[in-house]
Amino acid sequence: WTRAVRSGQRIQYTRDALQYAEENWPYVKMMGIWAFRFPAPTKSYMDYYTLVTPEFVPKPIYQELQDYTGNLRQ
């Protein structure tokens, strides 16, 4: 089940969740995404939750979150 959600699906699900929260929970001022990075591959499902690799190489979802939140790299 570790590969049950493709990268594109994960991006869309994450964007949908953030949009839902923004539209339906006005009292929520901040949300966190778990986890940014693990220091080494866990060789388990946990590796699919990170935003960057252990070497800090951004995964597609990282750029997508930057775009969504307006934090574009200059």
pLDDT in tens, 17-62: 999 999 999 999 888 888 899 999 988 888 888 999 999 999 999 9
Better-predicted residue by pLDDT, 38 or 3: 38
Confidence of residue 69 (pLDDT cuts 50, 70, 90): confident
pLDDT at 71: 65
Question: Read out DSSP for 3-68?
Answer: TSS-HHHHHHHHHHHHHHHHHH-TT------S-S--SS--SSGGGGG-SB-TT-PBPHHHHHHHHH
Sign of CA dihedral 4, 17, 32, 63: positive
For residue 57, give the amino acid letter. V
Give long-range contacts, CB 8 A cutoff, 24+ apart: 25-33.
Answer: 33/65
